[in-house]
Amino acid sequence: MLSASELRAHLLVSRLAGSVATSREGSLRRYRLFAAGDPRVLIGLVPEHGWSFGELLGLMSAQCGVSNNPECVSGQDVIDPDRTVAALDAFADRLGEVARRRAPVLLGTGHPHRLLGFYADVAAALSAAGCPVLTPAWGRRIDMTTRFGVRTHNLAYARGVALMREPGARTTSNGTGVHTHSPLPIRIALGAAADSGGPLPELVIGDHGWVCGAGQLGIAAIGLADSDDPAPFVGEAEGRLSVVVPLDDAVRPDYYRPLTRYVLNRACLSQ
Identify whether 197 is part of a domain.
yes
pLDDT band at 170 (very low <50, low <70, confident <90, very high): low
The pLDDT of residue 200 is 97
Inside any domain, residue 271: no
pLDDT of residue 198: 87
For 90-101, the pLDDT digits (tens) are 999 999 999 999
pLDDT higher than 60, residue 172: no
Distance CA 150, CA 145 (A): 4
Look up the pTM and report it. 0.95
Please determine, for residue 124, whether its predicted confidence score (pLDDT) is greater than 90.
yes
Query: Could you list the residue range(s) of the whole structural domain that residue 112 is in?
Result: 4-266
What's the total number of domains in the chain? 1
In sequence order, which residues have a C-beta less than 8 Å from that of residue 95 and are 6 or more positions away?
122, 125, 126, 205, 222, 263, 264, 267, 269
Mean of pLDDT values over 255-259: 98
Q: Give the per-residue pLDDT at 176.
A: 75
Task: Please indicate, yes or no, if residue 194 is contained in any of the structural domains.
Answer: yes
Query: pLDDT tens digits for 137-160?
Result: 999 999 877 666 778 889 999 999
- Residue at 21: amino acid letter: A
Cα–Cα separations (whole angstroms), residue 164 to 19, 23, 194, 220, 257? 30, 26, 20, 22, 23
| 165 lies in some domain | yes
Over residues 213-227, the pLDDT tens digits come to 999 999 999 999 999
Query: What are the strands, taking DSSP E only, across 14-126?
Result: 18-23, 76-79, 105-108
At 166, is the pLDDT very low, low, confident or very high (cuts 50, 70, 90)? confident
- Arithmetic mean of pLDDT over the chain: 94
Is residue 49 over pLDDT 90?
no
